[in-house]
Amino acid sequence: MTTVSAENPVKTMMRAGKVALGMNVRLARSGDIARIAKSSGHDFIFIDIQHSLFNLETIGHIAQAALGCGIAPLVRVRSCDDPDTSLLLDNGVTGIVFPDISTAEEAKRAVNRAKFPPVGRRSVSGGYALFDFRPMSTADAVPALQENTLVVCMIETREGVENIDAIAAVEGIDVIHVGANDLLTALGKPGQFGDPEGAAAIDKVITTAVRHGKIAGVGGDRNLPRQMEYIRRGARFITTNSEIAFILAEASRVTGELRRALQFSGSQPK
């Protein structure tokens, strides 16, 4: 029997100890954003349907563009019970990010949505986008998809930190990812990045994930020295920022420089 490969470049990178960088996508509605992510040095896109309005067909088109240019299209769904999970995976998405995982039972429900039996309960389809819709046997397709799919569980609550050992032990999870904004908010310290309690919680998640053979990730904290410290401690899955933030940052820089130049010149055009 011919071995079918559906390599996920992000899984390959992280298994080799390399750091994978992802762009959060909340505003863009075309496949162009995947190519921009690629050109700006990202390894994956993180399409956020927990907080943004996307229809499924749009996500499918973005995923196809991402596959075509060699970066991984991931989607953050609404919960570990999101019924669209398998539909997204059937149509080109190569990884699912599950928010608000606070217990091992919730982590298992997430795995059930994303993985085929015996690990999970995902339903088998056919004509998968990941294989360019080529016909192939279930015996070939299922193992390749099972290996390719990235399952990311987000730790964003005090309960999740307390239960991290049990969560990280769940079979089928690839990445344990800290949502720093929500975690700090849950600790009663919204926006207080670098706070000792928050730092200790993040460190606990990273070290526990690594101890269980899972990839650790951190998002939300955009401070470079802290990001490098997370990486030194073992994090390999890092989100940089959203395309909205990148647009605003560069637009603000350009207009700010021009307005300062106009002010310095002492005259305004009439």
51 is catalytic: yes
Strands 215-219 and 175-179, sheet pairing: parallel
Q: How far apart are CA 113 and CA 106, in angstroms?
A: 11
Q: Which of 51, 61, 177, 212 is catalytic?
A: 51
Residues with catalytic roles: 51
